[in-house]
Amino acid sequence: MQRVRLRYTKRGRLRFTSHRDFQRAFERALRRAGVPMAYSAGFTPHPKVSYANAAPTGTGSEAEYLEIALTEPRDPETLRALLDESLPDGLDIVEAVEARTSGLADRLTASVWELRLDGVDPADAARAVAVFNAAETVEVQRLTKNGVRTFDARPAVASLDSAASSEMHSSQADRPTDQPCAILRLVVRHVTPAVRPDDVLSGLRAVADLAPPVPAAVTRLAQGLFDEETGTVTDPLAPDREAVTAAPATTPGAADPAAAKASA
């Protein structure tokens, strides 16, 4: 059995796709591309797809990850191209690598987020960020199925900075505006309870009275292991790429795009 790890995106309007909607679209893409999927045992077999730490509905992402199990070896790049063609624009498969190491989910310990605050003056955002970073605790509330929960969001935030609008990620180009616009760059550790970008925005409102007039446009730029020394988030697929380079597959089967589409 071959395992392949994929990185995919949620761009533009497709950021409003729920995780369940993506699962359905991806399983249809697997069938359309003729991927030789491995299936689980039991009364209702389902394709072996492992999703890792999906972004919340309504947020864009450049760094979503999943792993699939195949019954026959396939070339990862050919497989990536087939699946990308079978998905709608905005849900893009941008990278594929054969899994040669264990514990992909364990390597997703932090995320880098970009928060676009339309209608917020960058100077006001910078002042609010300074207050947030100086605070020892930032209590926020979240409505859960068990009622309102209060927790401290500050320890999970590894860094929070304001950036110039020229540094804005290109995925936000679907929201042009001539109004003031502040851009925040957030690195947050994956802890329990999970601290999401909207929790940080609630914290900015609580400690610095920063309240954007419209909902923030949020994009995950990266996720992976958090390096405490450098404060950076590393690429979770790097160990697999390095392992493949060190020891190439002995049976590198390659999928034929035309044949796969004809059999779908």
Domain 109-233 has CATH 3.40.1350: no
User: d(Cα 17, Cα 14) in Å, to the nearest integer?
Assistant: 5
Matching residue, tokens 């446009």: 217
Q: Give the three-state DSSP class for 75.
A: coil
What pLDDT sits at residue 157?
97
Structure tokens at 216: 């923030």
The CATH classification number of 2-102+236-257 equals: 3.30.70.580
Q: pLDDT value at position 158?
A: 97
Residue with tokens 């609580």: 206
Q: What is the pLDDT along the chain (264 residues), one digit of tens a residue?
A: 899 999 999 999 999 999 999 999 999 999 999 999 999 988 889 999 999 999 999 999 999 999 999 999 999 999 999 999 999 999 999 999 999 999 999 999 999 999 999 999 999 999 999 999 999 999 999 888 888 899 999 999 999 999 865 455 544 445 555 688 999 999 999 999 899 999 999 999 999 999 999 999 999 999 999 999 998 999 999 999 999 887 655 444 444 444 444 443
Can 2-102+236-257 and 109-233 be said to share one CATH topology?
yes
| DSSP per position, 137-203 | --EEEEEETTEEEEEE-GGGEEEEEEE-GGG--GGGGGS--SS-EEEEEEEEE--SS---HHHHHHH
- C-alpha to C-alpha distance for 58 and 197, rounded to whole angstroms: 11
Domain ranges in the chain? 2-102+236-257, 109-233
Cβ-contact 110, 225 below 8 angstroms: yes
pTM to 2 decimal places? 0.86
241 CB contacts (<8 Å, ≥6 apart)?
Answer: 97
Residue closest to 64 by CA, chosen among 90, 82, 102, 88: 90
